[in-house]
Amino acid sequence: MTLGHTFPPDPLISKRAHMVRDQVERRGVRDPRVLEAMRAVPRHLFLSGPDRASAYDDTPLPIGCHQTISQPYIVGFMTEALAINEAETVLEIGTGSGYQTAILACLARKVISIERIADLADRARENLRALGIDNAEIIVGDGTAGRPDLSPFDAVLVTAGAPAAPRPLLEQLAPGGRLIAPVGGRSVQELELWTRTRTGFDQRRLIAVVFVPLIGEYGWKE
């Protein structure tokens, strides 16, 4: 199996393998490329201070600026649902630490990731650069409007909770393109999976989740 990136061995490789087996695969994520990417990307490098020691725990963790890195299972679940192949371009909304971006960069040809907090975007860029990931571009701005100038996208992954799937992001999907987003209230949401068809969109509700709010023109007000 080929991923777009390989990383040098590190001392936490077996902790990561346990995380993938016990928290992700055992809960039903089966896509071998997704599991391999999660075994490969050194998640601990996307955390700092005392939280780094908890990098392989079954939980979201703080990354500063009142934001979080998502629970490993949710990263695996959302990534698998998008069924990304190595020729595709992916738009991510909510870069955060850059960990999910790194997973996507292993699976896709190109990743565009938008983060509204410049400090987080700077740190995420540094995290990706340190790992030699060169097919992910991080942009500072309101991701709810997407980037029509860079569209269409084969897949869109929204990593913050929205009141509704942002219309501009759906419109920027290529035919056959998929979007996954947490949609619902400010504190609890459901993952919605949208697929662009020849005549419109298919929409499915997947599982209940808890994400920080998506703040922006087509999200929540601050």
Residues involved in catalysis:
70
| Residue 108 in contact with ligand SAM, rule: CB under 6 A | no
In the bound state with ligand SAM, the residue whose beta carbon lies nearer, of 124 and 193, is: 124
In the bound state with ligand SAM, the residue whose beta carbon lies nearer, of 94 and 184, is: 94
Tell me the angle at which helices 99-107 and 32-40 cross, rounded to the nearest 10 degrees: 130
Cβ(192)–Cβ(170) under 8 Å? no
State which amino acid sits at residue 34: V
| Residue 216 in contact with ligand SAM, rule: CB under 6 A | yes
User: Dihedral sign, CA of 54, 184, 25, 133?
Assistant: negative
- CA-CA distance, 203 to 13, in Å (whole number)? 37
In the bound state with ligand SAM, the residue whose beta carbon lies nearer, of 175 and 208, is: 208
Return the residue of 12, 142, 174, 210 that touches ligand SAM, per CB under 6 A: 142
Return the residue of 100, 151, 172, 189 that touches ligand SAM, per CB under 6 A: 100
- CA-CA distance, 158 to 95, in Å (whole number)? 9
| Residue 166 in contact with ligand SAM, rule: CB under 6 A | no
Q: Which residue has the tokens 């269409």?
A: 152
5-13, 32-40, 82-90, 209-217 -> range binding ligand SAM (CB under 6 A):
209-217
In the bound state with ligand SAM, the residue whose beta carbon lies nearer, of 54 and 197, is: 54
Render the burial of 122-148: b for 16+ CB within 10 Å, e for the rest. ebbbebbeebebebbebebebbbbbbe
Contact pattern from residue 111 through residue 130 relative to ligand SAM, giving x for each residue in contact according to CB under 6 A and a dash for the rest: ---xxxx--x----------
**Least distance to ligand SAM, CB of residue 139, Å:** 9
State which amino acid sits at residue 45: L
State which amino acid sits at residue 92: E
In the bound state with ligand SAM, the residue whose beta carbon lies nearer, of 70 and 151, is: 70
The partner residues of 91 in beta bridges, in order of sequence, read 112, 156
Residues in touch with ligand SAM (CB under 6 A): 63, 67-70, 93-94, 96-97, 99-100, 114-117, 120, 142-144, 159-160, 211-212, 214-216, 219
